Structure 1
């Protein structure tokens, strides 16, 4: 049996227990070049009669004989035929089994184990006592593993079938490409450029750009001592060209100053990776819809996230692009895109400078967008820009999360080894995406169809509540802006409402002017404006403490009571300090407070019940100057708008929850949970409404002495009947009598309240329309991508099938032309050719299996994605001329 299992670990009975031994000690010799039961006439012993084999069971020293017959094949070939990968081509003394190399490669993909840890585990499995340490072959094993990765990379892309072999490999040829991305000549219709202009957006290329500063490389070794085996064959750019580019443009191309927030990507542009670091991280350009690395689009960063580096990866990624529309997402797209064309005009020949037909759309990933200034959040939003579907642009971040696990092991590698390892890792990452592509698109499609129905219905309901002339005008604005982003942006609000923080800033600026003019008559530390601001903050904290105390209940825990008591004590100290300032400014309040304390007999008062005697409460009995009344008015007025904004958000949330409960909640458990959640939101709405009523009462009190009259048309009395959602989803009244409540038309001040209310409605209507559009676009885009996936695998299957047939034809030709060769050499050549043919047919079968698997899983889904089921399109068309804009595939 051990003739066929030469690397088994052997034990023998020593009389009292089993002792470790080896096949070599028992006299076994492994004969290469012949069948296991065959005889070799001239066996040739391995060097020093000791050969080390690294296997998944451990590290073995064996006795090995090569075949020395006259017609024997080379020693390296003999090892490979025995499924042993030699450490060198000349006089090898070490080899690794195919099994252990496959195991290590798979573990490095899944568990991200390092080569050192894997070899140490093999060593300890061989001997865990320290008394019979196996031969040290760690460096030889790492060389074999690296060559194994490289040979398999070339084999998977048919370079074993090519007459030019590895030397004929072109840049990017060995990358696993995204099958859903558009590739002319592979998965696009032959006449796709002749399709209607309204359909051309379906053939857009979506790419995402990002950098990662965890994947550093320490200053270990260099390219002379550790050259790479992959010269830009897969995902990392070809290093010699990249370094030449950096030497030419690295110092001359300076990054411009940011006009947006100071993002980390901009701040780190001139930051090096740290002491002893050769590369501060990696930059990448990848498919932003399907999260797959693109060919020749990854490279090292030397000094932060400089534009010159990211430009190279971007242009390298587009080297073979023939598409006209490219959607580019980057977390600093608002800055990087400004002078991109200008920078490209300086670089060597590139796709941007050479093409006048490119339509570049720059966007910021959804998660990163809130960190930008307000204007960027409108101009670079995936949610608002047309023809992008529901892309989020965050694919590079998901890719980095998988790659960061190898950061510790790759950081200490030489430059060539690191590039080869990362290429292999990224190839596995892309292939794992392909393994689940059927389930991925099915899940995305089901989600998109449900959401499309939901958001189009929501838009219809919003739309029918508005005057027809408004909807028509706003539609024209949207269409004009979508065609040309220089036109007025319909999502940008023109009205301006001061928040309480802006009012506070304005008050501080007024105090600064008083100081400059020596008009200082106030407290030495706290100005009148800040004094009133603090008083209103304390009042709000008292109201929150009242709610928290009421929520404790009889069964509250000791921790809950302790937290409320701690907040109560802190608030009491703050009130006492504030009262001292109040008595300085308004001594009359001290007399009122002393009289109340005397009448109360000195009984303690709860913190939330302490009277603050603000100007709105006591200006009729205590002499407050008009300055204090004006200050409180300004702050209360801003607070009223802030609270109304909060109230609108809570009402929208409740409306959506009602709708979700009606559609999805089934069974007692879900109904109970939904009811509880709705109760919590309703409680928040009631509390916010009470805050508004309290603020309005204060404004009424202050309006008379300040002679304010126009504000009541804007900040109306809030009735319970006004607490309805924007689309009246929770209104039980007759359908014909429903109308928008006043709280949804308020966002201005004074005389322009009506105009600003309409402005706010326009923004909300445009956003609702954009949501309906994006989900409809997503459905159409998914349908096209699913078609492209099947077309890609059909193309690849045909490609491999053609290679198999060419190899078969080559075998027939060879048999006819090399009859003069000796029989053994002819047989060896036939074996290799048979292997090529079988491998090609197997690869073709794998692609065929994937496309049929996807076809079966997606049966009927494409038709549902393209259709408009359940959206009641006919009603829309009859109702408004804007509706074809929402539901049509061509506008």
Structure 2
């Protein structure tokens, strides 16, 4: 339900001079009863307290002077985006409750019974509060529905575009992303309907009242007809996208759930189900999506950073020269590898302007590193006796670190992973390769844990900054701390990449790569960050000098392995913009947001590291991930049901038109009756052809990306109730929403048919 304030009407002519041909017979409501209802509500106070929409605030200002109507309000189907019969009203003084109540009630009169009703309205959080009170006290008898309507079977919602503009305190119950059963419905269908009719605004504005209503009725009818004949292609296109999105969201959510403790997942799942089952308003149950204690203070984060810096500065790896074991030798080599990487970073940051302190720190670190390398070289001669001959064969330096002209951080360690696979047996003692492999794997898992922890700390610091930091000086201080936290995440990401490359050289490709995946720059983000999509080169704006292509178009963003390509997101929401360029973002928002594999793969997530007090942020994001998986699953089910019901309706409509043949008696006007019968046959044939084209469209092979499926008409037209997918998702814990045994031999490991059954 929504109003459009471009479809105005000036005070031209009158209903007595221009009464119209069929007011109340198509989309606009009947005039007499509607005007009588509005006259009784002239002093209604409708200004919203949740969000200051201009449509309400300007209801009685100069913007309505000289106008008979300031616009129209309409009721439409949120799924098909078709206007409802007798569901459009004229608005005299803005978007008042009296107008929209009449629009809502009149459109519902076409239904004989409704089991459950979801009402999407820009200000549903205000309009719905006293709806049932107004229904009893204000609505005329002919408007009251013939079926029960109450808070149990009726729910309010705010469209996905408008919902962020509202006050966000306890507003989750109005979000389409979190309401069960809606699929990918966004509640913004009326906006698209009005966008298609704004072009006639200037033409209808000076018309007489009757002519204007007849004209708009014709346009609304044509809009609905275009929707009607395009159901075949539209539903198939949506179905293709919904299948891929469902599989992606369910797989991502299952991966995340598998990383968390099962008892915690079960607890959170019960919270979600209790919240979804509660009637409006949901004040008696705990809100699983709300975050209260979401902050880490700056002092806590600073303390953690200082401890890390102190550990790096004071780390000493002086190894005992007696009885050093194989694991101790490899561990020393890996520690040296980390120390050399840190020294390179420190040397890169040092500059002539850095002062004596930086030079002293770098010199001290290089001296300690040189001493450790000398110890390592002596041990290497014991555990890698064939290395000297290999270095001679390769033409490498064999004099050792003491005589090396390179800085100590540039010396090659020659761990087993650095030796060609064909020469390892003759160079290394038995068991050396296996020990390095195990230690490398442990280091990789530690990197994932540390990266998760760091990103969670960064996410909490962002929340703290957004809510508590005001002013330039505190803002810069807070931003500097966030930068330090994220710099640590960059270093961990770089370390993970080096370790993974070393492991791959050591053991080659294998099943381990499915868990310890390649870490791209785009993977390094918290579960609070929006998924980052590639930035296109953009297009020129209307104020550019020429529309000719740029000589040097902006290159696409490339993945870099040095860490500089990792973006620091200082806001939870998506604030990334192209400087001087338009950014084209497709499929963004909460519905299609995805989490990086670092949250859905690998070992379990440690929630006892102090990064998330009481796990509130993790709980809220897990619940939202669950909601995304559920909405994606529902969308596939809804689309299949819509295809089935569209086919059944077309079959019924064809029969209905054939039953119209011969209704008129031929004795009165034979030529007229013959023409009416011909028209009925023509319409019946039209419905039959539509049904045939839709079935043919839906029976085509569905292929997009990794999808390979043939949706047969028999599958679409199954009897209602045969799809038990909805019931299966309501039993047990969250893991029941994902069928583990439904993996097939397909390209992406999913059996879509079984998942529907």
Aligned positions of 1:707-746 closer than 5 A: 727-728=597-598, 735=602, 738-740=603-605
2:545 corresponding residue in structure 1: none
1:232 corresponding residue in structure 2: 24
Answer yes or no: is 1:262 the counterpart of 2:52. yes
Kindly tell me: are residues 659 and 463 of structure 1, through their superposed partners in 2, closer, same or farther at Cα, counting changes over 3 Å? farther
How many correspondences in the alignment? 469
Q: Distance in 2 between matches of 1:783 and 1:479?
A: 25
Answer yes or no: is 1:379 the counterpart of 2:379. no
Report the alpha carbon displacement of residue 475 of structure 1 after superposing the two structures with TM. Answer: 0.5
User: Residue 319 of structure 1 is aligned with which of 91, 109, 115?
Assistant: 109
Q: Distance in 2 between matches of 1:474 and 1:840?
A: 57
User: Residue 290 of structure 2 is aligned with which of 479, 492, 502?
Assistant: 492
1:855 corresponding residue in structure 2: 695
Report the alpha carbon displacement of residue 729 of structure 1 after superposing the two structures with TM. Answer: 6.8
Kindly tell me: are residues 865 and 461 of structure 1, through their superposed partners in 2, closer, same or farther at Cα, counting changes over 3 Å? farther
2:87 corresponding residue in structure 1: 297
Answer yes or no: is 1:355 the counterpart of 2:117. no
Kindly tell me: are residues 774 and 652 of structure 1, through their superposed partners in 2, closer, same or farther at Cα, counting changes over 3 Å? farther
Is the CA contact (8 Å cut-off) linking 2:27 and 2:217 kept in structure 1?
yes
Report the alpha carbon displacement of residue 839 of structure 1 after superposing the two structures with TM. Answer: 0.8
Q: Distance in 2 between matches of 1:222 and 1:475?
A: 60
Aligned positions of 1:42-61 closer than 5 A: none
Kindly tell me: are residues 447 and 223 of structure 1, through their superposed partners in 2, closer, same or farther at Cα, counting changes over 3 Å? same
SS at match of 1:314: helix
Deviations 1:362-394 (CA, angstroms, capped at 9, x unpaired): 111111111112235412111111111110111
User: Residue 797 of structure 1 is aligned with which of 645, 654, 659?
Assistant: 654
Q: TM-score, normalization: structure 2?
A: 0.56
Is the CA contact (8 Å cut-off) linking 1:344 and 1:352 kept in structure 2?
no
Deviating more after overlay: 349-358 vs 209-218? 349-358
Q: Distance in 2 between matches of 1:730 and 1:462?
A: 4
Structure 1 portions without partners, runs of 5+: 1-208, 501-546, 548-630, 662-672, 690-723, 747-751, 815-825, 868-872
SS at match of 1:362: strand
1:365 corresponding residue in structure 2: 159
Report the alpha carbon displacement of residue 479 of structure 1 after superposing the two structures with TM. Answer: 0.7
User: Residue 881 of structure 1 is aligned with which of 733, 738, 746?
Assistant: 733
Report the alpha carbon displacement of residue 740 of structure 1 after superposing the two structures with TM. Answer: 3.5
Q: Distance in 1 between matches of 2:482 and 2:712?
A: 47
Report the alpha carbon displacement of residue 640 of structure 1 after superposing the two structures with TM. Answer: 3.9
Answer yes or no: is 1:683 the counterpart of 2:564. yes
Report the alpha carbon displacement of residue 755 of structure 1 after superposing the two structures with TM. Answer: 2.8
1:469 corresponding residue in structure 2: 263
Q: Distance in 2 between matches of 1:326 and 1:851?
A: 29
Kindly tell me: are residues 659 and 280 of structure 1, through their superposed partners in 2, closer, same or farther at Cα, counting changes over 3 Å? closer
SS at match of 1:327: strand
Is the CA contact (8 Å cut-off) linking 2:23 and 2:213 kept in structure 1?
no
Report the alpha carbon displacement of residue 452 of structure 1 after superposing the two structures with TM. Answer: 0.3
Is the CA contact (8 Å cut-off) linking 2:253 and 2:626 kept in structure 1?
yes
SS at match of 1:249: coil
Is the CA contact (8 Å cut-off) linking 2:641 and 2:716 kept in structure 1?
no
Is the CA contact (8 Å cut-off) linking 1:334 and 1:376 kept in structure 2?
no
2:640 corresponding residue in structure 1: 783
Is the CA contact (8 Å cut-off) linking 2:59 and 2:95 kept in structure 1?
yes
Aligned positions of 1:572-651 closer than 5 A: 636=477, 640=481, 651=523
Q: Distance in 1 between matches of 2:124 and 2:713?
A: 33
Deviations 1:533-590 (CA, angstroms, capped at 9, x unpaired): xxxxxxxxxxxxxx9xxxxxxxxxxxxxxxxxxxxxxxxxxxxxxxxxxxxxxxxxxx
2:383 corresponding residue in structure 1: none
User: Residue 763 of structure 1 is aligned with which of 620, 624, 627?
Assistant: 620
Answer yes or no: is 1:395 the counterpart of 2:252. no
Q: Distance in 1 between matches of 2:561 and 2:170?
A: 35
Is the CA contact (8 Å cut-off) linking 1:218 and 1:278 kept in structure 2?
yes
Q: Distance in 1 between matches of 2:102 and 2:484?
A: 49
Is the CA contact (8 Å cut-off) linking 1:462 and 1:726 kept in structure 2?
no
Report the alpha carbon displacement of residue 351 of structure 1 after superposing the two structures with TM. Answer: 3.9
Answer yes or no: is 1:277 the counterpart of 2:135. no
Is the CA contact (8 Å cut-off) linking 2:643 and 2:716 kept in structure 1?
no
Kindly tell me: are residues 431 and 754 of structure 1, through their superposed partners in 2, closer, same or farther at Cα, counting changes over 3 Å? closer
SS at match of 2:661: helix
Q: TM-score, normalization: structure 1?
A: 0.48
User: Residue 838 of structure 1 is aligned with which of 660, 668, 678?
Assistant: 678
Report the alpha carbon displacement of residue 266 of structure 1 after superposing the two structures with TM. Answer: 3.3
Q: Distance in 1 between matches of 2:29 and 2:247?
A: 44
2:9 corresponding residue in structure 1: 217
Kindly tell me: are residues 634 and 392 of structure 1, through their superposed partners in 2, closer, same or farther at Cα, counting changes over 3 Å? closer
User: Residue 122 of structure 2 is aligned with which of 331, 342, 356?
Assistant: 331
Q: Distance in 2 between matches of 1:324 and 1:725?
A: 36
User: Residue 417 of structure 1 is aligned with which of 199, 211, 235?
Assistant: 211
SS at match of 2:564: helix
Is the CA contact (8 Å cut-off) linking 2:26 and 2:85 kept in structure 1?
yes
More strand per residue: 1 or 2? 1
Q: Distance in 1 between matches of 2:7 and 2:219?
A: 13
Is the CA contact (8 Å cut-off) linking 1:650 and 1:681 kept in structure 2?
no
1:176 corresponding residue in structure 2: none
Q: Distance in 1 between matches of 2:616 and 2:224?
A: 46
Q: Distance in 2 between matches of 1:417 and 1:265?
A: 25
Answer yes or no: is 1:287 the counterpart of 2:127. no
SS at match of 1:685: coil
Report the alpha carbon displacement of residue 835 of structure 1 after superposing the two structures with TM. Answer: 0.9
Report the alpha carbon displacement of residue 278 of structure 1 after superposing the two structures with TM. Answer: 0.8
1:772 corresponding residue in structure 2: 629
Aligned positions of 1:30-49 closer than 5 A: none
1:309 corresponding residue in structure 2: 99
Q: Distance in 1 between matches of 2:168 and 2:30?
A: 40
Report the alpha carbon displacement of residue 497 of structure 1 after superposing the two structures with TM. Answer: 3.0
Is the CA contact (8 Å cut-off) linking 1:287 and 1:294 kept in structure 2?
yes
Aligned positions of 1:104-115 closer than 5 A: none
Q: Distance in 1 between matches of 2:206 and 2:562?
A: 53
Kindly tell me: are residues 270 and 339 of structure 1, through their superposed partners in 2, closer, same or farther at Cα, counting changes over 3 Å? farther
- Which structure's CA Rg is the greater one? 1
Which structure has more relative contact order (CA 8 Å, sep 6+)? It is 2
Deviations 1:770-805 (CA, angstroms, capped at 9, x unpaired): 110001001111111111111111111111100114
User: Residue 234 of structure 2 is aligned with which of 413, 432, 440?
Assistant: 440
Q: CA RMSD in A?
A: 4.0
Report the alpha carbon displacement of residue 333 of structure 1 after superposing the two structures with TM. Answer: 0.9
1:588 corresponding residue in structure 2: none
